[in-house]
Amino acid sequence: MHHLVIDRWSRGSSPLHQRDPRAKLAALLVFLIALSTTPPAAQAAFVAYAILLIVAANLARLPIRGLAGRAALVLPFSATFALLTWWSGDSLRALGLAEKSFLSGMAALLLVGTTPLTGWTAALESWHAPRMLILVIQFVYRYLFVIAEQAQRMRWAALSRRGSRKRSRRVSFQFSAAAGLVGVLFARSWQRADGIYHAMLARGFRGRFVPAAPPPFQTSDALFFSACLAGCLAIRLLL
């Protein structure tokens, strides 16, 4: 299924995939801090950040277009604020806002595209992030797949009963059908999620995912983080 793409990416074997999740998470934080504190006028810095991400994506053997397309999904959310800023007369700031949200999305995707979920949540846990936050991330991740799978099955069922007519003439009919689908999707997803939770309890789940194999932190991980830190600092301070 299409929504499994990122999950499949995260199972790669590139040098970036092999780095310790803690090193990658720390590198992401450094990148985000540097990016968010970069003034909008420093357009050369944004180009440099983008080049840094492209180099990392190449190193991870991930498709740049696929990454960029998915990172662009954050733009509608930031577009509202960017447009308001634009109308208030600060076009450079508006541009910077859109650039920052897009590059942040791409950097986060690089992390999840090169680290399995259990890896980066274990990294969060080792940093003593709130357990409830980690649990919510893990459940959301799992249940998003559940909802997507359910939605795909229902879409196929709907398509198989649509007949030869490509579009119904009545918009109101289309709307009511879509609304019905959303309602049924919610009910079915809830039922399925409940089943998964039961299966977890049956195997001794006590409110915490126990990491299977805490990865050792190696010299190469420290070197990787140092390189990321140096790159981000250089861009932030020199450009």
Residue position matching structure tokens 């053997």: 61
Instruction: Say if CB 181 and CB 158 are below 8 A apart.
Output: yes
Amino acid at 210: V
Nearest distance from C-beta of residue 99 to another protein, angstroms: 32
CB nearer to another protein: pick between 90 and 149: 149
Contacting another protein within 132-151 (CB under 8 A): 142, 145, 149
Kindly write down the DSSP assignment for every residue of 129-193, as one continuous string.
--HHHHHHHHHHHHHHHHHHHHHHHHHHHHHHTS-S-SS-S-HHHHHHHHHHHHHHHHHHHHHHH
Question: What's the token pair of residue 40?
Answer: 């909008």
Contacting another protein within 148-207 (CB under 8 A): 149, 192, 195-196, 198-206
How far is the C-alpha of 237 from the C-alpha of 37, rounded, in Å?
10
Nearest distance from C-beta of residue 203 to another protein, angstroms: 4
CB nearer to another protein: pick between 199 and 238: 199
Nearest distance from C-beta of residue 208 to another protein, angstroms: 9
Nearest distance from C-beta of residue 123 to another protein, angstroms: 15
CB nearer to another protein: pick between 11 and 65: 11
Instruction: Say if CB 37 and CB 83 are below 8 A apart.
Output: no
Contacting another protein within 79-138 (CB under 8 A): 116-118
Intra-chain end-to-end CA distance of the chain, in Å: 42
Q: Which of 2, 11, 128, 166 binds another protein (CB under 8 A)?
A: 11
Kindly write down the DSSP assignment for every residue of 80-132, as one continuous string.
HHHHHHHHTT-HHHHHHHHHHHHHHHHHHHHHHHHS-HHHHHHHHHHTT--HH
Number of residues in contact with another protein under rule CB under 8 A: 29
Contacting another protein within 22-51 (CB under 8 A): none
7 part of the interface to another protein, by CB under 8 A: yes
* Site residues, another protein (CB under 8 A): 1, 4, 7-8, 10-11, 116-118, 142, 145, 149, 192, 195-196, 198-206, 210-214
